[in-house]
Structure 1
Amino acid sequence: MTSQTSSAKTALERTHTMIIRALACLRGTQFALWIWVPFADGGPTRFPPQVLVGYVLAALFSGALFTVATKRGTLTAPWVSADVALAMVYAIVVSRSYPPVDAASITNWVIPPLCGVTVTAAIYGGRYRIPAVVLVVGAWVVGAWPALGTENSAELMSNSVMMTLFAGVAGITGKLLFDAARRADRAAKEAVAARAQQVQASERERHISHLHNTVLQTLEGIAQGTRGGNDLAEIRLLCRTEAESQRTNLLAARPDGVVAALTQALAEMVAGHPVQRKHQVITKYDDRLPDLPTEVVEALTGAAHETLNNVIKYAKTDEVRVTAALLEPGGVRVTILDHGVGFDGDTVVPGFGTRRSILDPVSAVGGKAFIEGAPGEGTIVELSWTR
């Protein structure tokens, strides 16, 4: 489990991305509203050059602005300041280029983009959002002022009010969205922290329980004389077995707190198996083992348990090795090896118990079981499963 990894965006980052995309779509639509105007009623030549040049430059700057913002995931103060400054220039220069009667009409392309600039400044202007909106609206009034007294004079005031109201609503909405995203991120961090504490507590309890049920019981048995007696070799075997058990227990806990189920299951099975009484069991488990479906863990562990039963019955050896290794991609291989009497694979056919308890369960979960032996050279059992 991970808590907000570098590859996963936070709620605040997702909110920035959503708002920037919305502002980019809004600005593009606002520029697109005027595309038809130059081709109606006389064509583009009826406008002064600064009208068309200003339109092209403003559109290109807006494209660059939102391209950079999309890559960075936010709008920075220098870009917002440049957007406001350019808007003030074309609000005055372009509006004054129109005849007074058209300065505040829909034929003036600056009106929709200016509204977009005020909305952007209200969201990303920081503590200067109000002055930025005032400057843009003020520049619009200065540029379109000649329209006052014409038939479109009312448009001068209505467009000013529209820009101001849109900016106010956008600023409040943006603040609410950002505040909600920050609260969501804080809640997510608190939930991850609480989960981590829960996992740590669970791991601590697991380790305590494992210690109580294994090494402490063994030490108490040795101290009371019920385990090992006076046989120094038996006591050493018990100590070596418990050391392997504790090493396996430590490997069973992943750094992220997830228990590697197969490692833990094998360790617990081996620790409690009767083979420990008369045999030295050497275990080695790869700490990279993946988490597996429960039925796979049960099948592999059950087959390994039955294999150790066979070691007790037939191997006539005092040592057995149990290993678990990683198979790419995402698979595992459990190997049980002894150097006992072995068997002749050409003449000995696996019995009913071997098929029922080793071969069939592993095959049923999509795995493979391989048994090989030779007289006097021991037996190897390989249990494998891949995704």
Structure 2
Amino acid sequence: MAETSWSVALRALRGGAPGAAGAQGVGSGLQRAQAFMILATMLYRASHLAIGLVAVVQRHRDQPVQYAAVAAAVGLSVLVYGTALRRGWFTRRHVWADVVVCGCLLPFALWAWGGARESATLGWAMILGGSASAAVAVALDRVQVAAAVVLLAGTHVIGYQAVGASPAVVLGHLNSLLSSAVMAWVFWWYLRRQGRLLDDANARALTAEAHRARYEERLEHHRALHDTVLATLTTLAAGGIDANAPEVRERCAREAAYLRRLVQQTSDALPRRQIGTALEEAVRAAEGLRLKVTARYHALPHVPPEVATALADAVAEALNNVRRHAGTGHAYLTAAVSHEGHEEGHGADHDAGPGGGSGGGSCGTDTGPGGDGTGGGVVVTVVDRGRGLDPERYAPGFGLRRSVHDRMAEVGGRATVDGAPGEGVRVELRWPG
């Protein structure tokens, strides 16, 4: 079913588009100002038509010309304002037709054929000129506004003189005519100015949001490079591993392919990995740089892909920190569902590693890394038996701050780092936080 003119205008005032063609955006401030002025002037005309109908019913029941005049005024008003509502603004030729017919010809037609011989019987037609002047003031340019107002004022003077109206009546109606035009123009000027200010503010907000999105994208690229390529280059530069080792060459090839994907990546090309698979990729990458990782997974839940990616990236950086700073070649990874009560059942496994009895080997799993839990949160810990850290002097660097803490915060999780001198470091990642 097609929308009514009223619903179109009201939707525009609420922020939708009235369907107007133009340079402004859909639901812009200027379009809202236009929709308001259309409704305001239409209601003004409706009040004059109501006065005219009441006057005809009370005073001219036996004058068919009077009813025909009311019908003509109603029909022309529907044309003017109905078209304006559909298009989003007034059509100038329709506004001029309203001025000529309702504002000028109807009073003379009633005087000539409708029995209007005194100001009281002609007044209802004259006041239509007031609502016509309001539409003129907002729809036409200044020269045309002046011409239309002069034409309407001349009709008032000549028409009232023809029925012998007093100067007070003539001046009162002229004042109403001019006041309608002036007030409508002032309202339209103010609303149009406010609408443009709103559009400018919206444009600045959109520009700022675009800048922020570009900054976040660059930051994400920096973090990705820090966690992968830079970690590999740092290790090679330190000389701690053989650059020609097969596993190192394989990692370099993977990261070269990653760089190519990063350059070509679009916003809809985000990785869509399960949590277990993502964590295993982080473990294998660390093992490619000669870090032994003992990993255990316990009934991993299904989490959103962006959460799985954030956890895996945070784990990769935590393992990089173990390799670079802990002074040990062995790390322990535990990942489990964090349902209430579930963690208690796996409490010993959560502390796998130093004192946790993870068992030997590179990777031990209870359910496999694919993740077959039924839902809920997840907790991942990375523990080492290295030199540890002094909590009073600890300040997270770029890796922990950006790649661990910030990544977890962005997906609604949190990261905590705990350690003591000579007792290793424990990094705990939780989602939800």
TM-score, length-scaled by structure 1: 0.63
Moved more, 114-123 or 195-204: 195-204
Q: Say whether 1:11 aligns with 2:29.
A: yes
Aligned residues between the structures:
292
1:79 aligned residue (71, 94, 99): 94
Contact 1:80 1:124 survives alignment (8 Å): yes
SS of 1:35's partner is helix
2:152 aligned residue (132, 136, 139): 136
Deviations 1:71-113 (A, max 9, x none): 11111322222222222222433345465752x3255431332
Tell me by how many angstroms 1:197 deviates: 1.4
Q: Say whether 1:170 aligns with 2:184.
A: yes
Q: Say whether 1:35 aligns with 2:47.
A: no
Question: What CA distance in whole angstroms lies between the structure 2 residues aligned with 1:303 and 1:216?
Answer: 19
Contact 2:280 2:369 survives alignment (8 Å): no
* Alignment of structure 1 residues 31-70 onto 2, 5 Å: 31-41=49-59, 43-45=60-62, 47=63, 49-70=64-85
- Matched residue, 2:425: none
SS of 1:105's partner is helix
SS of 2:27's partner is coil
Tell me by how many angstroms 1:64 deviates: 1.2
Question: What CA distance in whole angstroms lies between the structure 2 residues aligned with 1:75 and 1:112?
Answer: 21
Question: What CA distance in whole angstroms lies between the structure 2 residues aligned with 1:227 and 1:187?
Answer: 56
Tell me by how many angstroms 1:35 deviates: 1.7
* Alignment of structure 1 residues 1-387 onto 2, 5 Å: 8-41=26-59, 43-45=60-62, 47=63, 49-86=64-101, 87-97=103-113, 101-102=117-118, 104-105=119-120, 108-127=123-142, 128-148=144-164, 150=165, 153-222=167-236, 225-227=239-241, 229-231=243-245, 233-246=246-259, 249=262, 254=267, 273-277=282-286, 296=304, 300=308, 353-354=366-367, 358-360=371-373, 362-364=374-376
Question: What CA distance in whole angstroms lies between the structure 1 residues aligned with 2:274 and 2:214?
Answer: 20
Moved more, 187-196 or 219-228: 219-228
Query: Aligned partner of 1:145: which letter?
Result: Q
Question: What CA distance in whole angstroms lies between the structure 2 residues aligned with 1:130 and 1:271?
Answer: 79
Moved more, 67-76 or 84-93: 84-93
Mark the runs of 5 or more structure 2 residues left unpaired by the alignment.
1-15, 18-23, 289-302, 317-363, 378-433
Contact 1:245 1:271 survives alignment (8 Å): no
Tell me by how many angstroms 1:224 deviates: 5.2
Counterparts in 2 of 1:201 and 1:154: CA distance versus 1, 3 Å: same
Moved more, 29-38 or 173-182: 29-38
Question: What CA distance in whole angstroms lies between the structure 2 residues aligned with 1:302 and 1:100?
Answer: 83
Deviations 1:23-52 (A, max 9, x none): 2222122212222333335x532x3x5433
Deviations 1:134-186 (A, max 9, x none): 221222222222233x5x55322211111111211111111111111011101
Tell me by how many angstroms 1:200 deviates: 1.3
Question: What CA distance in whole angstroms lies between the structure 1 residues aligned with 2:45 and 2:257?
Answer: 67
Contact 1:122 1:168 survives alignment (8 Å): yes
Query: Aligned partner of 1:58: which letter?
Result: A
Question: What CA distance in whole angstroms lies between the structure 2 residues aligned with 1:71 and 1:268?
Answer: 56
Tell me by how many angstroms 1:201 deviates: 2.1
Moved over 6 A (4+): 4-7, 264-268, 302-305
Counterparts in 2 of 1:278 and 1:216: CA distance versus 1, 3 Å: closer
TM-score, length-scaled by structure 2: 0.57
Cα RMSD between the aligned structures? 4.0
Counterparts in 2 of 1:40 and 1:302: CA distance versus 1, 3 Å: closer
Question: What CA distance in whole angstroms lies between the structure 2 residues aligned with 1:54 and 1:227?
Answer: 99
Contact 2:65 2:114 survives alignment (8 Å): no
Counterparts in 2 of 1:79 and 1:96: CA distance versus 1, 3 Å: same
Tell me by how many angstroms 1:14 deviates: 1.3
Contact 1:11 1:181 survives alignment (8 Å): yes
Counterparts in 2 of 1:36 and 1:301: CA distance versus 1, 3 Å: same
Mark the runs of 5 or more structure 1 residues left unpaired by the alignment.
280-294, 309-350, 366-387
Contact 1:77 1:125 survives alignment (8 Å): yes
Counterparts in 2 of 1:304 and 1:143: CA distance versus 1, 3 Å: same
Tell me by how many angstroms 1:277 deviates: 4.9
